[in-house]
Amino acid sequence: MEIAFNNQLYLWFLLSVPIVIIIHYLTNKYAVTRALSFANFSSLERVAKPPIISKHVLFLIVRLLTLGAIIMALAGASFFYIGQSSEFDFVIAMDTSSSMLAKDFTPNRLEATKEGTIRFIRGLDSKAKVGIVSFGGTTYIESFLTDDRDKLIEAVEKIEIKSIGGTDIGSAIVTATNILLSTEKSRAVLLISDGESNIGLSLEQAIEYANENNVAVHTIGIGTEEGGLFEEANIILKLDEESLIKIAEETGATYSRATDNENLFAAHERLASATTARKLSFNLSLALIVAAFILLFADWALISTKYRVIP
């Protein structure tokens, strides 16, 4: 469990706390109030019990709590905890580097991935929103988060191999994470690739960014044991799993290896129906504002009743 802040700049206002304490004590020290004189005051004094906490300290505590609640609300405090959730929004990151033309899947790795992704989209809960990115040497946003299944399927069908060489998995993770920042649901990326990240942003930086934003990056490695023929270069391309396993493990997600079309579709389906333990969030801002109003009312009530100053 932990508390994080969306607008940490407002936390600088906590420096006003010692100023409030100093002003409070200076005010009480030099304030002059009138007191009523009671007959037989000495008798009252003998039977009266001293308060457990003086009114000046009580007022200080209430006002500091009020100030703290307001500052925390402005800072966008959120409470994160581990819980069971099947309510995810997803971004699907599809490798479109030239190696995805290898023919160990029917008709090739990319087309099999597209078919599996379409099945995945159709199998999701109707409330889930999905975004699509494709990546090779650079990352392209094919669709932002939406629950329009037809629009998503159309976006997947249009994806093609990108002309820019290389595989920049790190940038794909960061782009997918940025798309998910707009959702309050549990956040997950489904990344499908056949190789290691060989250009662009480092995986360490990408994994750190995903973890900072509570995004689980599930990975699927696509490639058979024998590898697939890449006809343009007349070479056999095999799957490099190491990077994909590292991403999944370090973001608290799952890795699956797809060795044929049906195995690939099964991996998509498992994730679509999964209910897993994930870091969930609860925005505390509204609760803190309500608490601040209650404390302000309590302060007013104490001044107007029990600790009322009679002139």
Q: Are strands 215-222 and 235-237 parallel, antiparallel or unpaired?
A: unpaired
- Reduced to 3 states (helix: H, G, I; strand: E, B; else coil), residue 189 is strand
Structure-token pair, residue 174: 């960061």
Q: Are strands 228-230 and 235-237 parallel, antiparallel or unpaired?
A: antiparallel
Residues in the chain: 311
pLDDT of 138 reads 93
Q: What is the pLDDT along the chain (311 residues), one digit of tens a residue?
A: 667 777 888 888 888 888 888 887 887 776 544 444 444 545 545 545 555 566 778 888 888 999 989 998 888 887 766 555 557 899 999 999 988 998 889 899 999 999 999 999 998 877 889 999 999 999 999 999 999 999 999 999 999 998 887 899 999 999 999 999 999 888 999 999 987 788 899 999 999 999 999 899 999 999 887 776 666 655 777 788 899 999 999 998 999 999 888 888 888 888 776 645 455 567 788 888 999 999 988 888 877 777 665 55
pLDDT of 158 reads 95
Q: CA geometry: angle at 139 spanning 137 and 144, to 5°?
A: 165
pLDDT of 149 reads 95
83-279 — its CATH code? 3.40.50.410
For the chain, give every domain's residue range: 2-76+284-304, 83-279
The closest alpha carbon to 98, from 172, 163, 170, 171, belongs to: 163
Task: Tell me whether the omega of the peptide bond preceding residue 51 falls within 30 degrees of 0, making it cis.
Answer: no
pLDDT of 278 reads 56
How far apart are alpha carbons 163 and 160 in whole angstroms? Answer: 9
Q: CA geometry: angle at 287 spanning 57 and 300, to 5°?
A: 40
pLDDT of 229 reads 65
pLDDT of 38 reads 47
> Is the pTM above the cut of 0.85?
no
- Reduced to 3 states (helix: H, G, I; strand: E, B; else coil), residue 245 is helix
Counting DSSP H helices and E strands in the chain, the numbers are 10, 11
